[in-house]
Structure 1
Amino acid sequence: MAKYFLPNKVFISPIQYAHTRNLFLISMSIVYTFAFASLYWQQPGLYSDNGILPLRVQIQQQEKIQLFIVKLANFFKWTPFRIMECVLLISIFLSSLMIIFKCLRTSLTFTMLWFAYYSCFQVAGQFLYFQWDTLLLEAGFLTIFVAPMRLLYLKRKQTEDFLYQDRITLWLIRWLAFRLLFASGIVKLTGGDKTWWSLTATTIHYQSQCIPTPLAYYAHHTPVWLHKLSTALVYMFMSGTGILFFSPFRIHRLIACVIQISLQILIALTGNYNFFNLLTIILCFGLIDDQFLGYSQWESVEDENKTKKSFSWIITLFRRLIHLIILISYIYLTIRWFDIHWDSKQQIVLTKITFTRAQFDLFLRRFLPICLFLAWCSLIFTIGRSVFIAIRRPEKIYAKIFHTLITISYGILAMSLFFVSMVPFTVIERQTGKALPYELQSWYNKYQDYHIFNAYGLFRSMTGVDGRPELIIEGALSTKNPKWKEYEFFYKPGSLSASPPFVAPHQPRLDWQMWFAALSHYQHEPWLAFFLYRLLTNQPEVLRLIQTNPFPTTPPKQIRILLYRYNFTTPPSKDYWQRELLNNEWFPTITLESQWFMSYIEQLNMKQINKPLPKSILLDIIRSISNLMNGTIFTWFPVVIALVFVILRKLLCTNPHKPLVVKKDDEWYQPVPLKDKIN
């Protein structure tokens, strides 16, 4: 007679994170596909020999750095641009296949994707110097360890989907999510920006962000009291719930996950931040488990020293008491710190910060070490539990030894990554950072160029307080009595009647750099001169990056840049924007005869060259197909195709051997015979 594992118990939960891991890996494959496809579509305009920042020039400026793309170019006797093009296409193809086929989601393939993105990052210059690019590099690096360490992930039976190190590797993802979200909330106050401290930042943010969405227009016009309340809640949700990431109670982690994902969805609805919000949501998957996803498959061993049922109500009461205390404390602190109360006269909710900058700095100096300590305790507990499962679960002694050694190795790796990552994390509080051992700083400096440990924190200070500064490029066909015409971009504000677009997950890197340039001075943005030179020569690769070229047949004789202040209009209005001229010559008017300008172009080897690219029929065909779509559609194209294949496979290849899940006494479990235990 077969014996079964009974549900009264010390749960070992053998596949508690298998489906969570698979969801995380397929999601990372999707993000990689978005990132590579978006960059591929923009590559000619940005990096070709006649692009804004040609690779040949970028490489000359980094001669001392060992660039992988340059090594490949020398080996295959091809141009770096063609090599980068091949790297991007192969990566798009590989990541798309990884969306479809689970067997390809291994450490090897994710290593290839990480190395491909890092290779492009090395040569791409400032167009890839965004926080989400470094976040993708760090998240992609950790994904290498989350994925199974195999050439192909082929399993003979479903139970082999379980990996003993899943808890440890997904904890690293959780730690990265905590560092990102906690710091993103904290830096808004440590930066000392008046709008963040007065809780009025979002009255500016929705219109001043780089590329607003259509919903940002309406969010901007919500009442000021609602802006203040939402800003206070953002602080508490983004940073305040971060400490729950390391709670020993599963329900706390799930609540924190739902809150953070909901917040990211709201941010994505009001602002175009490419794949950043999606990637942040994916990192929150480190907080969930298979049961949350609906895979309630449990296996247990009988606990010889199990607690008597008569005491179970005490444990339940104790748990609920802790939950209640945390909930009440959270609500109390939110109301106290932000003085949230109802004003009966104005019939609104009033909100203001009740602590000073000095008090906040003191609190952070004391609280950050507590966060690090709790994270360390959580990691040690996670490693200990994983090692216990590796020792307890297998029946054969050699299997116990093998899995235990592997799990311990992952534990040592996790501790090493945790310690080194504390260095960039503690930049939000210098005193805590100075207290770290010097050896950690040394290790961080050693691997800093690989961007596998990064500091995070967006919107430390709010720009565009009086309205968003916007650069408008104009050209004219004559130098005498010129009739100026505007260049229209695809996504950044220009036309007053054009609605803000939905762009994500595509990142229009030229539009983003134009936003940063408007906040700076043209002398600090050398790429802008190269861009204007390409417009003066009507360079087709560069013109594909903008929506409207007012001079399609004859290049303009002269070009200038004006600085405007843009603000949202007040509903109801037929226009979305209104603008005011601030500087009618932000960048001096230039022609191809402007001696100072052309000397600068020649000095940096940016002058137009007519040397054709090496012939490649396949690459040219793919490029011509991509040119038929705009950047947003092309970014979605490979992902949609892959997801269609996934859906068709699910519909046509249903699994008739779906495991039976039984619910008994309000507890989910699956009876598993002893003979079917994993060795």
Structure 2
Amino acid sequence: ISEGNLLYKCLKISELFHKKMLFLEERNGVLNTRNFILRGMCAIYLVAFLSFYHQNEGLFGDNGILPARIHISNTAKITAMQKRPSLLHFAYYLGIDTASMVDFLALAGVLISFVGFISQSFCLMSTFAALWALYYSITQVMQVFSNQADLLLLEAGALLLLLAPVSNTRRETPTDRIGLLMIRWLLFRFMFVSGGVKLATSCPQWWSLTALERHFETLPLPTPLAWYAYYLPSHYNQLGMVFTNLSELLVPWLFLSPLLSMRTVAFYWHMFLQFHIIITGNYGFLNFLIVILLFALLDDTHFLRPRTEGVWKERLRTVFKVIVFLAIGYAGFFLYGIGFKNGQFTFKLKFKKADYDHFFASALRISPLLPLVGVIVTFMYEMMGHPLIRRAKSLLGMFYTILTTSFFLLCCIGLIGMSTVPHRNAHKDSNISHTEVGYMYSKFQHLSLVNEYGKHLREIRPGRLEVILQHADNIEGPWEEYEFQYKPGNVNYSLPMAGPYLPRLDFQFYDVAGAPIDRHPWIYALALRLLTNEPSVKNLLSSRNFPRQPPKFVKATLYEFHYTSWNERNNVAYWTRQPAGEFLPPCSVDDATLQARLKALKIPLKYKVPPVTNAVLKNALVFVRKQATLIEGSFFVFTFLALGFAIIATNRRN
């Protein structure tokens, strides 16, 4: 373009406007950042598929707790696909049953995500479209065993379609920064709502800053370090509660800042938070997923600092980060009235419930404007300065890039608009579920493109109740306990470390103990599988104390659990427990109540698997399943991750 050309003059004016008026830091690359996130997300998908596959037969198999065939029709009807969109409906065309199709899709997800994990060139839009479709399909059969991690992965996976390149992973695209901003908006919503709903509920433990101490004893699947965290001095746990509130209510606003220095402070702040969550609780791949998404706060200067950068410029950036960090700390000291007296921290909240409700509702209303303005400004930014537009080889190529980027912009604006509905549902004063936007959101809600988070954080539990399953050959006893691999039960066994593996049955029992059994009818299905000694369900439990022959009776008893005292810990045990009532009365296969509940669940006492037309594929899936069950779930996941890292290291060395 010649210097006298009008287009050239417009580009120069827009570049000057960008540098002088938008106050953004200098343009840095995001290619390495984007590729790291894409590769990391392949690893998360790999963990999620492996974790699901290892438990699928016991949870959703033909003789599992809640068989998938009950919820997914194995027919070729188009109406079934429209009602519940899922790749599972294609089992009819492959000649296999629904349970086998679930295995097939999970294994396909394992294969695709593993290749993406070890090969950067495979991290394309088509790859992530396939991974999202596969994972969305298997979530259709999860039912009560679905987890918040699944929702976050599906929403993040959908955003990867805006971030992943179509063909070339070695070149930046104009949509990269827009995609990274959308990930930052997702992180903001997840963190801000997770922190906001705690204080919005008026739960006294959140307001008295004592919730963290109770949390370490009542979290779903604690690790050994949770016991030690529980016995930290109370004022340290209160200080930790202040840190958590700042992390979830104040720091997330830095996610949406155009300044890299502010986002870098937020990155390390939340990395510190996620590290402590991971080492004290087994939340599956949820926090590992958040860690990967946090890299969207950075750019390529974090991975490789340019050599041309001056020393003073780097020092000024460091000083600015320190100022931001100190400002957050000062806000904490001011809002929570932190003092130090007699060797202990003291706290006195400087705000009331009415003040907080006004702040939270207002923040929920205003916050969507930030990503909306951000994606529009970023779009203009890319139109002004991206090499694919400024150095386009042809006018047609330039217009094609502008057209596709504009389409992505419209998609992002639509997603931001829809996300305001679940985002504002966190507080009654900002709820817009019954508006036109809320109606539009309800039409797409089943696709999990945008989701609501933080529901389970509204109240901290006053104590820990656990359901203990038992079996006997005589109703009078003696009763022997079933033991789980990760859920607290036997007080003499150590607390486990599951890493990114998500044990869904153990995790679901956390919700069961706090409610009547009528709200969890799937317990009756589990009782049936235990009464028949179903091998696939046996693999979900610990092999210790599992009966060799089917028992005649099973029952479930509630126990109240507490951590052992600091001195008692020397005797190995982590827990003490006392009976707290009956949960499931003793029942046998012939029990009328059990049979009535199973009938309501559409689960027969005996089920004969129908013949399939594709015996070769069916037998191959059975063979792979037998090999997978030989390894414990967390080791199964770690094996694939270790193999992937070994291949990556070997390729780098070569």
TM-score, reference length from structure 2: 0.89
What secondary structure is seen at the aligned counterpart in 2 of 1:470? strand
Q: Secondary structure at the match of 1:492?
A: coil
Instruction: Give the deviation of 1:375 after TM superposition.
Output: 3.2
Number of the residue aligned with 2:113: 95
User: Which of 410, 418, 421 in structure 1 is aligned with 2:419?
Assistant: 421
- Structure 1, residues 268-302: CA drift from partner, whole Å, max 9, x if none? 11001101001111121111000111263899xxx
Q: For residues 195-234 of structure 1, what are the structure 2 equivalents within 5 Å? A: 195-234=205-244
Find the counterpart in structure 2 of residue 489 from structure 1: 484
The residue correspondences of 1:51-450 to structure 2 (distance < 5 A) are 51-59=64-72, 65-128=83-146, 130-150=147-167, 153=168, 161-294=171-304, 296=306, 329-343=327-341, 345=342, 347-390=343-386, 391-394=389-392, 396-434=394-432, 438-450=435-447
Distance 1:248 1:47, change over 3 A: closer
Cα offset, 1:373, TM superposition: 3.2
Per the alignment, in what secondary structure is the counterpart of residue 547 of structure 1? coil
Shift of 1:404: 2.7
Q: Paired residue for 2:63, among 42, 50, 54?
A: 50
Q: Deviations over 1:310-335 (max 9, x none)?
A: xxx9x999999987875564333211
Residues 239, 349 of structure 1: alpha-carbon distance in 2 compared, 3 angstrom cutoff? same
Residue ranges of structure 1 left out of the alignment (5+ in a row):
1-7, 300-308, 653-679
Work out whether residues 106 and 148 of structure 1, in 8 Å CA contact, stay in contact via their aligned partners in 2. Answer: yes
Contact 1:471 1:514 in 2 (8 A): yes
Amino acid at match of 1:648: T
Task: For residue 254 of structure 1, report the CA deviation from its aligned partner.
Answer: 0.7
Structure 1 residue 410, shift from structure 2 partner = 2.1
With over 3 angstroms needed to count, the CA separation of the structure-2 counterparts of 1:323 and 1:211, relative to structure 1, is closer
Which amino acid letter does the alignment assign opposite residue 149 of structure 1?
A: V
CA distance, structure 2, for counterparts of residue 29 and residue 510 of structure 1: 25
CA shift at 1:618, angstroms? 2.2
SS in structure 1 of the partner of residue 584 of structure 2: strand
Query: What is residue 38 of structure 1 aligned with on the other side?
Result: 51
Q: Which residue identity does 2:624 align to in structure 1? A: I
The range that moved more, 384-393 or 226-235, is 384-393
* Residue of 633, 642, 645 corresponding to 1:643: 645
Q: Distance in 2 between matches of 1:297 and 1:147?
A: 28
Aligned partner letter, 1:618: A
1:461 and 1:564 map into 2 onto residues whose CA distance is 24
Are 2:524 and 1:522 equivalent residues in the alignment? no
Contact 2:203 2:460 (C-alpha < 8 Å) held by counterparts: no
Kindly, what percent of the aligned residue pairs are identical? 30
Which of the residues 478, 503, 508 maps onto 1:508?
503
Secondary structure, counterpart of 2:300 in structure 1: coil
Q: Deviations over 1:209-250 (max 9, x none)?
A: 110011001001101111111101111122211111222321
* Structure 1 residue matching 2:192: 3-state secondary structure: helix
Change (3 A) 1:557 1:338: same
Give the structure 1 partner of residue 3 of structure 2.
Answer: none
More deviation in 503-512 or 72-81? 72-81
Aligned-residue Cα RMSD (Å) equals 2.9
TM-score, scaled relative to structure 1: 0.85
Alignment of 1:557-576 (within 5 A): 557-572=552-567, 573=569, 574=571, 575-576=573-574
Partners of 1:362 and 1:69 lie apart in 2 by 45
Residue 590 in structure 1 maps to residue 590 in structure 2: no
Contact 1:183–1:457, Cα closer than 8 Å, also in 2 = yes
| Distance in 1 of aligned mates of 2:620 and 2:322 | 63
Aligned equivalents of 2:477, 2:323: Cα separation in 1: 71
Q: SS at the partner of 1:259?
A: helix
Task: Give the AA of the match of 1:104.
Answer: F
CA distance in 2, matches of 1:519, 1:163: 50
Distance in 1, matches of 2:326 and 2:104, equals 56
Contact 1:12 / 1:389 at 8 angstroms: preserved in 2? no
Detail structure 1 runs of 4+ shifted over 6 Å in the superposition.
8-15, 60-64, 315-325
Counterparts in 2 of 1:369 and 1:288: CA distance versus 1, 3 Å: same
* Cα distance between partner residues in 1 of 2:610 and 2:545: 26
Q: Identify if the C-alpha distance between structure 1 residues 396 and 610 changes in structure 2 by more than 3 Å, giving closer, same or farther.
A: closer
Cα offset, 1:102, TM superposition: 1.7
Quote the Cα distance in structure 2 between the aligned partners of 1:81 and 1:634: 21
Query: Which residue number corresponds to residue 6 of structure 2?
Result: none
Structure 1 pair 626/398, CA: closer, same or farther in 2 (3 Å)? Answer: same
